[in-house]
């Protein structure tokens, strides 16, 4: 396509309503709602004496009123603007946007699981406790670890949980160490977690091959180091081959090894983190075990612990004895050896996510989960092999794991950036890949297809990216610099939106005033 077609599309798309065919412009509910309309008929109340005293509302609250069909249309239209894994491929690197099997949803909606309330007496929910225990058993088996905290509600929350256990273990030893080592390629949540707990973050540089330099780790292992936080496979999509040597060095220095397990999808059923010398690791159930995510959750980030950290796991603990499962909510009810660091949040974790994750595990079985890792890695390498002649690889010498990382070397001299490419991919009907992360690679383009894409789906995605790559190389800048052309909104000032968000809607000025 050339500039002319894009320009003409811009002008011919002007319509009277602002709609573009069935892509309907949707105002805010406050803009379309009226104060004299409501979706329900409520009888005028009979005379009564209000008992609110001075708290009685003096003016109208200004809530928008709509008829039922108008309300219905408003929210259904909004829902149709969403792009999700159920709409199309979502190659967002590091996020493992895999298909969420409908069976999981069916299980989570079973009345006995979907309708329970966290304040219900425990005697009425033995099955829920058993389900948590069974999921814990699977997680421990898959990771080769000794204990698990089911409470954390996200990966980042899991990091906090794991690092709090490390802090408690060090305090029990009477060693308040102050430094946490974090590789440069780490996800931003890692240094944020360490900093939140008051640690000084010491970055560890990467080697030329994209992995963490064990020699650089060794150099920094002073008696003040509390832990290292390391991701494996790392955020460049590469397996850290020196991980066992790094774990040994960390332990020899009296520190603990926290692993960010967000990328577990690449090795589930293949590698047990416990065998690598890891002391604590969170597992994003919403990534590896297919519970829906994006748009704010809910997620679940259980943390598995080694023998050394198991006693410090937070409450509550699900315990099994002759009478079945019970929940230890206080340290006094926990086993003698337990020294829980406390509680991380109310209740017992994200039950709906537990049901979905266990449903996923049971329907795949041990062999099926191993196949997940195989296929996720195969799909990423298929994309890598299919695009490496037109896009550049920062680490060309070894295959990738579950995600493939390109850099922007191939865009040099075109006047087109990684961001432009991502925006042009929106016009092709895809959610963009992860861009500019990890930071260790210039103009990073991180693609994670997951195992749930078919070969046909991968081929179409590859063809779309090849077409964009060829256009970029031909110098067709217009296709990129103004993209997205077909989205409901064009290119937004994302920095300003993040830095100075406008969180309060104010009514537009009446037409009369505006004209003055
Ligand atoms: C997703 C992710 C996290 C954070 O997980 P959340 O559930 O989003 O809090 C941490 N590290 C890595 C490498 C990730 O990909």
Domains of the chain are 15-41+62-81 (no CATH), 103-359 (3.40.640.10), 367-499 (3.90.1150.10)
**Distance of CA 187 from the midpoint of ligand 1 (Å):** 7
Q: Of 39-53, 224-238, 472-486, which gets the smallest average pLDDT?
A: 39-53
Separation of 164 CA from ligand 1 center, angstroms?
A: 17
Phi then psi for 25, rounded to 5 degrees?
Answer: -70, 130
CA of 5 to the centre of ligand 1 (A): 41
| Degrees, nearest 5: CA angle 82-89-408 | 105
Instruction: Give residue 323's pLDDT band: very low, low, confident or very high (50, 70, 90).
Output: confident
- Partners of residue 229 on adjacent β-strands: 258
pLDDT of residue 107: 97
Residue closest by Cα to atom 15 of ligand 1: 94
The C-alpha atoms of residue 424 and residue 177 are separated, in whole angstroms, by 48
Is the C-beta atom of 155 inside 6 A of ligand 1?
yes
Q: Which residue lies with its CA nearest to atom 14 of ligand 1?
A: 262
Confidence label for 463 from pLDDT (cuts 50, 70 and 90): very high
Average pLDDT over every residue of 80-109: 94
Predicted TM-score of the model (pTM): 0.91
Q: What atom in ligand 1 is closest to the CA of residue 96? A: 15
Top pLDDT among 168 and 510 is at 168
Does 94 contact ligand 1 (Cβ within 6 A)?
Answer: yes
DSSP single-letter state for residue 476: -
Is residue 233 pLDDT above 60, yes or no?
Answer: yes
**From 156, 433, 438, mutation site for ligand 1 pocket: most ligand atoms within 8 A of C-beta:** 156
Most confident range, picked from 15-24, 217-226, 317-326: 217-226
**Ligand 1 in reach of 262 Cβ (< 6 A):** yes
Q: What number does the ligand 1 atom closest to the CA of 235 have? A: 13
Residue 280 bridge partners (DSSP): 258, 305
pLDDT value at 182 more than 60:
yes
Helices (H), 13-124: 29-32, 68-80, 102-108, 111-114
Mean pLDDT of 47-69: 88
CA dihedral 116, 121, 125, 126 (to 10 degrees): 160
Is the distance from the beta carbon of residue 230 to the nearest atom of ligand 1 less than 6 Å?
Answer: no
Task: Name the residue of 162, 192, 260 to mutate for ligand 1: max ligand atoms within 8 A of Cβ.
Answer: 260
189 lines ligand 1 (CB under 6 A): yes
- The mean pLDDT value of the chain amounts to 92
């Amino acid at each position: 396509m050339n500039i002319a077609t894009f320009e003409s599309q811009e002008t011919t798309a002007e319509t009277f309503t602002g709609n573009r065919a069935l892509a309907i412009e949707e105002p805010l509910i406050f803009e379309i709602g009226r104060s004299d309309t409501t979706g329900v008929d409520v009888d005028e109340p009979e005379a009564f004496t209000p008992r609110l005293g001075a708290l009685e509302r003096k003016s109208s609250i200004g809530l928008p009123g709509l008829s039922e069909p108008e309300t219905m249309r408003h929210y259904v239209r909004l829902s149709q603007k969403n792009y999700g894994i159920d709409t199309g491929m979502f190659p967002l690197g590091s996020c493992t946007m895999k298909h969420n099997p409908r069976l999981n949803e069916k299980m989570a909606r079973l009345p006995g699981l979907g309708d329970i309330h966290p304040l219900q007496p425990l005697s009425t929910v033995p099955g829920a406790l058993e389900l948590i225990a069974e999921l814990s058993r699977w997680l421990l088996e898959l990771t080769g670890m000794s204990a698990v905290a089911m409470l954390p509600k996200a990966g980042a929350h899991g990091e906090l949980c794991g690092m709090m256990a490390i802090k408690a273990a060090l305090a029990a030893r009477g060693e308040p160490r102050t430094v946490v080592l974090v590789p440069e390629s780490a996800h931003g949540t890692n240094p944020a977690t360490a900093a939140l707990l008051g640690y000084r973050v010491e970055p560890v540089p990467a080697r030329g091959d994209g992995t963490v330099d064990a020699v650089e780790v060794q150099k920094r292992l002073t008696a003040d180091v509390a832990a290292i936080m390391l991701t494996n496979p790392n955020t460049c999509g590469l397996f850290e081959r020196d991980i066992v040597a790094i774990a040994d060095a960390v332990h020899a220095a009296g520190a603990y090894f926290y692993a960010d397990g967000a990328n577990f999808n690449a090795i589930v059923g293949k590698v047990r983190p416990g065998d690598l010398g890891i002391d604590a690791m969170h597992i994003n159930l919403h990534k590896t075990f297919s519970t829906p995510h994006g748009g704010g959750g809910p997620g679940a980030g259980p943390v598995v612990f080694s023998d050394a950290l198991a006693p410090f796991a937070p409450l509550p603990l699900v315990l099994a004895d002759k009478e079945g499962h019970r929940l230890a909510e206080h340290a006094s009810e926990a086993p003698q050896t337990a020294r829980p660091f406390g509680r991380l949040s109310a209740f017992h974790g994200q039950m709906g996510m537990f049901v979905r994750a266990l449903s996923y595990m049971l329907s795949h079985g041990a062999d099926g989960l191993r196949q997940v890792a195989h296929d996720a890695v195969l799909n990423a390498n298929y994309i890598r092999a299919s695009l490496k002649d037109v896009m550049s690889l920062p680490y060309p010498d070894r295959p990738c794991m579950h995600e493939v990382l390109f850099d922007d070397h191939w865009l040099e001299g075109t006047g087109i950036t990684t961001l432009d490419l991502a925006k042009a991919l929106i016009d092709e009907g895809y959610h963009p890949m992860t861009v500019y992360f990890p930071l260790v690679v210039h103009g990073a383009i991180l693609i994670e297809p997951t195992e749930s894409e078919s070969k046909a789906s991968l081929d179409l995605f590859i063809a779309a990216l090849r077409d964009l790559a060829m256009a970029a190389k031909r110098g067709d800048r217009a296709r990129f610099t103004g993209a997205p052309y077909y989205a409901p909104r064009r290119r937004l000032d994302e920095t300003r939106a993040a830095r100075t968000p406008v969180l309060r809607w104010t009514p537009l000025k009446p037409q009369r005033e505006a004209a003055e």
